[in-house]
Amino acid sequence: MGPTLPPRGRGQIGVRTQIPAEYGGGVNTLRTAHTSALTAAELRAARALLDEAFDGDFSDQDWDHGLGGVHALVHDGTGTLLAHGSVVQRRILHNGRSLRVGYVEAVAVRPDLQRRGLGGQVMGALEQVIDGAYAFGALSASSEGEGLYLARGWAEWKGTVGALGPQGPVPLPDEDPPLLWGADLDPSYELFFDWRDGDIL
């Protein structure tokens, strides 16, 4: 039997939830908290986990993209960080509307504990935040992580994407399409993401 996911719907931020450790016994703790509520030590632990999980291919800009929103963190009984993800606010222009979107960033599980349900626990918490606070969710998936998101109900955007750059709209024909959560959008209209340093998606 797989891990129990948090209920869908509006949730509380800054809550700790005990969850059974599927492997090895004991109890893990799932915490959701805004960046401002995390200590410097917690942020260092999250960054170290991401560096390890991405084998050093996680830049300072990637880290910056994951800050300023709500984090989901899974710790074991000793307080060691096992998994992390965050959701931050972005603006997406679609069919003449500027939509407030929850963009998922910095999802990682400690390499020796991957494929044991921890990523699903993190995503369940972030999806709950998205359902309660945003028009829909979006993320850019790696080839390794795409299966997790698709299995949870995220869907690939079938239209084109662009960005609203400093000089105006910029088409992004070479970008892989984002995955969306809870979106009911017309793919005949382009998705224009807000501009940022580093990877746009």
Nearest by Cα to 71 from 116, 16, 34:
34
d(CA 19, CA 188): 42
Helix (H, G, I), strand (E, B) or coil at 28: strand
What is the per-residue pLDDT for 146? Answer: 95
d(CA 57, CA 74): 22
Confirm whether 2 is domain-assigned.
no
7 has pLDDT over 80:
no
Confirm whether 50 is domain-assigned.
yes
Containing domain of residue 171, as a range?
Answer: 16-194
Inter-residue contact 31 to 83 (CB < 8 Å): no
What average pLDDT is seen over the chain?
A: 91
What is the per-residue pLDDT for 55? Answer: 94
Q: Could you tell me how many residues make up the chain?
A: 201
Percent of the chain with pLDDT over 70: 90
Whether the model pTM is above 0.95? no
For residue 47, give the CATH number of its domain. Answer: 3.40.630.30
d(CA 99, CA 93): 6
Confirm whether 8 is domain-assigned.
no
For the segment 192-197, the average pLDDT, to the nearest whole number, is 96
